[in-house]
Amino acid sequence: MKKTLLLATALLFITACSTKNAQVSSTSALAGDTEEMKTLKSALDLYTKATINNDVPTLMSFVYPKVFTVVPKEKMTEVLTKAYASGKVPVIKNVKHLKAEPIEKYDGGMFTFIDSSMTTELKSPRTDNPKFEAYMLEMLKKQLAPKGGTVSFDKDKHIYIVNHSDRTLAINENDGWKFAGVNQAKKYAQKGLLAQEIVSKLN
Protein backbone atom coordinates (compact mmCIF):
# COMPACT_ATOMS: atom_id res chain seq x y z
CA MET A 1 0.00 0.00 0.00
CA LYS A 2 2.87 2.40 0.76
CA LYS A 3 4.23 1.99 -2.77
CA THR A 4 0.75 2.57 -4.14
CA LEU A 5 0.44 5.84 -2.24
CA LEU A 6 3.85 7.00 -3.40
CA LEU A 7 2.96 6.19 -6.99
CA ALA A 8 -0.35 7.99 -6.69
CA THR A 9 1.41 11.09 -5.46
CA ALA A 10 4.09 10.97 -8.14
CA LEU A 11 1.58 10.51 -10.93
CA LEU A 12 0.44 14.11 -10.60
CA PHE A 13 3.28 15.92 -8.89
CA ILE A 14 5.46 15.59 -11.95
CA THR A 15 3.03 17.52 -14.12
CA ALA A 16 0.79 19.32 -11.63
CA CYS A 17 2.05 21.20 -8.60
CA SER A 18 0.44 23.54 -6.12
CA THR A 19 0.48 27.25 -6.83
CA LYS A 20 -1.32 28.30 -3.68
CA ASN A 21 -0.57 31.88 -2.58
CA ALA A 22 1.65 32.44 -5.64
CA GLN A 23 1.46 34.82 -8.55
CA VAL A 24 1.43 32.45 -11.50
CA SER A 25 1.55 33.15 -15.20
CA SER A 26 1.11 30.75 -18.07
CA THR A 27 1.69 31.45 -21.72
CA SER A 28 1.49 29.29 -24.79
CA ALA A 29 3.23 29.49 -28.14
CA LEU A 30 1.80 26.28 -29.55
CA ALA A 31 1.42 26.59 -33.30
CA GLY A 32 -1.20 25.06 -35.54
CA ASP A 33 -4.83 25.64 -36.45
CA THR A 34 -6.01 22.08 -36.99
CA GLU A 35 -9.03 20.93 -35.02
CA GLU A 36 -6.83 18.50 -33.07
CA MET A 37 -4.42 21.28 -32.11
CA LYS A 38 -7.27 23.57 -31.08
CA THR A 39 -8.68 20.92 -28.74
CA LEU A 40 -5.18 20.30 -27.36
CA LYS A 41 -4.67 24.00 -26.59
CA SER A 42 -8.07 24.18 -24.91
CA ALA A 43 -7.40 21.10 -22.77
CA LEU A 44 -3.92 22.34 -21.84
CA ASP A 45 -5.40 25.66 -20.75
CA LEU A 46 -7.95 23.92 -18.50
CA TYR A 47 -5.28 21.64 -17.11
CA THR A 48 -3.02 24.58 -16.28
CA LYS A 49 -5.85 26.47 -14.60
CA ALA A 50 -6.78 23.40 -12.57
CA THR A 51 -3.16 23.16 -11.44
CA ILE A 52 -3.12 26.81 -10.42
CA ASN A 53 -6.37 26.44 -8.48
CA ASN A 54 -5.50 23.09 -6.88
CA ASP A 55 -8.66 21.75 -8.51
CA VAL A 56 -8.24 18.04 -7.79
CA PRO A 57 -11.43 16.77 -9.53
CA THR A 58 -10.45 18.55 -12.75
CA LEU A 59 -6.87 17.32 -12.49
CA MET A 60 -8.21 13.78 -12.14
CA SER A 61 -10.09 14.24 -15.42
CA PHE A 62 -6.75 14.74 -17.17
CA VAL A 63 -5.15 11.54 -15.85
CA TYR A 64 -4.75 8.81 -18.47
CA PRO A 65 -7.63 6.40 -17.62
CA LYS A 66 -5.54 3.22 -17.73
CA VAL A 67 -3.54 4.54 -14.76
CA PHE A 68 -6.58 3.90 -12.59
CA THR A 69 -6.13 0.17 -13.18
CA VAL A 70 -2.91 0.51 -11.16
CA VAL A 71 -3.98 3.13 -8.62
CA PRO A 72 -7.74 3.53 -7.96
CA LYS A 73 -9.03 6.99 -8.77
CA GLU A 74 -10.49 7.40 -5.29
CA LYS A 75 -7.15 6.65 -3.63
CA MET A 76 -5.24 8.98 -5.95
CA THR A 77 -7.76 11.75 -5.27
CA GLU A 78 -7.40 11.24 -1.53
CA VAL A 79 -3.60 11.34 -1.64
CA LEU A 80 -3.45 14.45 -3.80
CA THR A 81 -6.07 16.28 -1.72
CA LYS A 82 -4.14 15.58 1.48
CA ALA A 83 -0.88 16.65 -0.12
CA TYR A 84 -2.29 19.99 -1.21
CA ALA A 85 -3.80 20.51 2.23
CA SER A 86 -0.40 19.93 3.84
CA GLY A 87 1.08 22.96 2.10
CA LYS A 88 4.24 21.00 1.30
CA VAL A 89 3.67 20.63 -2.44
CA PRO A 90 6.16 22.42 -4.76
CA VAL A 91 4.98 25.71 -6.24
CA ILE A 92 5.15 26.18 -10.02
CA LYS A 93 5.39 29.65 -11.56
CA ASN A 94 5.88 31.23 -14.96
CA VAL A 95 4.80 28.27 -17.06
CA LYS A 96 5.48 28.77 -20.77
CA HIS A 97 4.32 26.15 -23.25
CA LEU A 98 6.90 26.58 -25.99
CA LYS A 99 5.96 24.08 -28.66
CA ALA A 100 4.12 20.88 -29.46
CA GLU A 101 5.38 18.26 -31.85
CA PRO A 102 3.14 17.33 -34.80
CA ILE A 103 0.24 15.21 -33.59
CA GLU A 104 0.67 11.55 -34.50
CA LYS A 105 -2.15 9.05 -34.91
CA TYR A 106 -2.27 5.35 -34.11
CA ASP A 107 -4.99 2.71 -33.88
CA GLY A 108 -6.01 3.77 -30.38
CA GLY A 109 -6.03 7.53 -30.89
CA MET A 110 -3.40 10.26 -31.18
CA PHE A 111 -0.54 11.74 -29.18
CA THR A 112 2.08 14.47 -29.11
CA PHE A 113 4.76 15.91 -26.85
CA ILE A 114 4.75 19.43 -25.41
CA ASP A 115 7.90 21.29 -24.40
CA SER A 116 7.58 23.88 -21.65
CA SER A 117 9.69 26.00 -19.35
CA MET A 118 8.84 26.93 -15.78
CA THR A 119 10.06 27.92 -12.36
CA THR A 120 9.52 25.56 -9.44
CA GLU A 121 9.89 26.63 -5.81
CA LEU A 122 10.72 23.93 -3.28
CA LYS A 123 10.56 24.55 0.44
CA SER A 124 13.51 23.21 2.38
CA PRO A 125 12.60 20.11 4.43
CA ARG A 126 15.23 21.03 7.04
CA THR A 127 15.00 24.76 7.76
CA ASP A 128 16.95 24.24 11.00
CA ASN A 129 19.99 22.73 9.29
CA PRO A 130 22.10 25.10 7.09
CA LYS A 131 24.57 22.32 6.21
CA PHE A 132 21.79 20.11 4.90
CA GLU A 133 20.33 23.00 2.89
CA ALA A 134 23.72 23.70 1.31
CA TYR A 135 24.15 20.01 0.50
CA MET A 136 20.69 19.83 -1.08
CA LEU A 137 21.48 22.93 -3.17
CA GLU A 138 24.61 21.30 -4.59
CA MET A 139 22.76 18.08 -5.33
CA LEU A 140 20.03 19.97 -7.19
CA LYS A 141 22.64 21.85 -9.20
CA LYS A 142 24.32 18.60 -10.23
CA GLN A 143 21.00 17.09 -11.28
CA LEU A 144 19.90 20.12 -13.29
CA ALA A 145 23.16 21.15 -14.93
CA PRO A 146 23.16 18.42 -17.62
CA LYS A 147 19.60 19.43 -18.57
CA GLY A 148 20.30 23.16 -18.76
CA GLY A 149 18.42 23.97 -15.58
CA THR A 150 19.51 26.37 -12.85
CA VAL A 151 18.82 26.57 -9.13
CA SER A 152 19.32 29.20 -6.43
CA PHE A 153 18.46 29.29 -2.74
CA ASP A 154 16.65 32.01 -0.79
CA LYS A 155 18.20 31.68 2.67
CA ASP A 156 15.67 33.95 4.34
CA LYS A 157 12.64 32.03 3.06
CA HIS A 158 14.39 28.63 2.94
CA ILE A 159 13.19 28.10 -0.63
CA TYR A 160 14.99 26.53 -3.60
CA ILE A 161 14.17 28.33 -6.85
CA VAL A 162 14.52 26.01 -9.84
CA ASN A 163 14.34 27.17 -13.46
CA HIS A 164 13.94 24.20 -15.74
CA SER A 165 12.34 22.72 -18.82
CA ASP A 166 9.62 20.12 -18.88
CA ARG A 167 8.41 17.67 -21.50
CA THR A 168 4.85 16.40 -21.35
CA LEU A 169 3.10 13.57 -23.15
CA ALA A 170 -0.44 14.36 -24.35
CA ILE A 171 -2.71 11.46 -25.34
CA ASN A 172 -6.20 11.46 -26.79
CA GLU A 173 -7.92 8.10 -27.21
CA ASN A 174 -11.30 9.54 -28.13
CA ASP A 175 -11.94 10.57 -24.53
CA GLY A 176 -10.24 13.96 -24.54
CA TRP A 177 -6.62 14.95 -24.01
CA LYS A 178 -4.76 13.50 -21.02
CA PHE A 179 -1.35 14.61 -19.77
CA ALA A 180 1.71 13.07 -18.10
CA GLY A 181 5.29 14.19 -17.64
CA VAL A 182 7.65 12.13 -19.77
CA ASN A 183 9.39 10.59 -16.75
CA GLN A 184 6.04 9.45 -15.42
CA ALA A 185 5.00 8.27 -18.87
CA LYS A 186 8.04 5.99 -18.87
CA LYS A 187 6.68 4.39 -15.70
CA TYR A 188 3.35 3.96 -17.44
CA ALA A 189 5.21 2.22 -20.25
CA GLN A 190 6.95 -0.14 -17.83
CA LYS A 191 3.53 -1.22 -16.60
CA GLY A 192 2.31 -1.83 -20.15
CA LEU A 193 -0.20 1.03 -20.10
CA LEU A 194 0.93 2.81 -23.28
CA ALA A 195 0.72 1.84 -26.93
CA GLN A 196 3.98 0.79 -28.55
CA GLU A 197 3.80 3.73 -30.96
CA ILE A 198 4.02 6.07 -27.97
CA VAL A 199 6.65 4.03 -26.11
CA SER A 200 8.98 4.15 -29.10
CA LYS A 201 8.95 7.97 -29.00
CA LEU A 202 9.65 8.38 -25.28
CA ASN A 203 13.09 9.88 -24.72
What does the pLDDT look like over 126-138, one tens digit per residue? 999 999 999 999 9
174-187 tens-digit pLDDT: 899 999 989 889 99
Strand partners, 81: none
Specify the pLDDT at position 196: 94
- Report d(CA 38, CA 73) in Å as an integer: 28
**Do 88 and 32 touch, CB atoms closer than 8 A?**
no
Return the DSSP state at 34.
Answer: S
| Mean pLDDT for the chain overall | 83
Specify the pLDDT at position 10: 45
Specify the pLDDT at position 28: 57
Q: Where are the strands (E) in 1-86, listed by range? A: 26-28
Specify the pLDDT at position 26: 52
Specify the pLDDT at position 109: 95
Domain with 48 in it: 2-199
Number of domains composing the chain = 1
Residues of the chain short of pLDDT 70, as ranges, are 1-32
Other CB atoms within a 10 A radius of the CB of residue 49 amount to 13
Type of residue found at 175: D
- Report d(CA 9, CA 123) in Å as an integer: 17
Query: Is-above-0.85 flag for pTM?
Result: no
Q: Going by C-beta distance under 8 Å and a sequence separation of 6 or more, which residues neighbour residue 190?
A: none
Cα 63 to the chain's mean position, in Å?
A: 11
